[in-house]
Amino acid sequence: MRGSIMTRMVARVALAAVLSWGMVMPASAQGFSGLFGAPSGRMSAFQVDGHCVRVESFASNSRCLSPAIVMLYGMDGMTKYGTQMRMAASQLAANGYAPFIIYYFDGPGGRLTDDNIDSVKEENFHAWVRTARAGISWVQQQPGVDPTRIGITGFSLGSSVGLATSALDARVDVVIDAFGALPVPFEKYAGNMPPTLILHGQCDEYVPVDAAYRLNSLLSRKGVPNRIIVYAGEKHTFSTRTSRDAAARGLAFLNAYLK
């Protein structure tokens, strides 16, 4: 079906990029990387429908096979919040995970050409999901990765892509939704989703909190383990105190289902 998939979502995805996982890390945990910027990961690539999709990977500090975390950025890609995404990946690696930032805009879905999120067509969104699934296949083949333990963390638009991917792909063992929404066309697959952590601000001005409650209700009816955390008074970006809490809860959720 043609037309904008975003207009059929429970809520609009943010018009601006979201604070990434690295931005919700406590300052004490960020160390020098938090003060001077996170190191870049190792750049690699894989092919999807003739498109070269970049991946930025960060080596886990574990000597054993590590759970992999597929990270999906917001609508600004890596141009605005790349440092924070890399900081996030570095912290996950320090906690024994193997993080991979998938540049899914490199794939056949392309990227947004303007600031209007409603310009996203359903075919673009499905292509992003296809790219994310191809990224999982590539990640599973990487040295040091346990191919049986895969998580996804997404932010805003990337969170919506991550939720849809996890609904279609049984290889995903856990998903963290930060400020996103599961598009309506994918709700029929919600029963296939893995354990899901939903993080949302009560006063989110871009993705109304109803999207979080709807997802929580849907997953609960389907018997999917999930937890919803709605932060009172918070908008589409969290305060420092709330950010620290969200980071701690996210890491604990990953530890519970991937370690």
pLDDT digits (tens, 9 = 90+) for 209-245: 999 999 999 999 999 999 999 999 988 777 888 888 9
DSSP for 174-232?
Answer: EEEEES----GGGGGGGGG---EEEEEETT-SSS-THHHHHHHHHHHHTT--EEEEEET
Select the highest-mean-pLDDT range: 13-27, 107-121, 222-236.
Answer: 222-236
What mean pLDDT comes out for the span 97-114? 92
User: What CATH code is carried by the domain that includes residue 252?
Assistant: 3.40.50.1820
37: left (phi over 0), alpha (psi -120 to 50) or beta: left
Q: Where are the beta strands (DSSP E) in the chain?
A: 42-48, 51-57, 66-72, 98-102, 145-155, 174-178, 196-201, 226-231
Q: Would 43 be classed as within a structural domain?
A: yes
Cα-Cα-Cα-Cα dihedral sign, residues 187, 124, 54, 139: positive
pLDDT for position 14 = 36
Residue-wise burial string across 128-156, b where 16 or more C-beta atoms lie within 10 A, e elsewhere: bbbbbbbbbebbeebeebbeebbbbbbbb
37-75 tens-digit pLDDT: 567 899 999 999 999 999 999 999 999 999 999 999 988
- Asked whether residue 30 is assigned to any structural domain, the reply reads yes
- Determine the Cα–Cα distance for residues 42 and 35; give it in Å rounded to an integer: 21
In a domain, 1, yes or no: no
How many domains would you assign to the chain? 1
Find the range with the poorest average confidence among 50-59, 82-91, 101-110, 140-149. 82-91
**Model confidence at 258: pLDDT above 90:** yes
Centroid of chain to Cα 230: 18
Residue 139 DSSP SS3 = helix
The number of helices, as runs of H, and strands, as runs of E, in the chain is 6, 8
How much is the pTM?
A: 0.87
Domain limits at 22?
6-258
pLDDT of residue 256: 97
Confidence check: pLDDT of 15 > 50 = no
pLDDT, position 37: 58
pLDDT at 9: 54
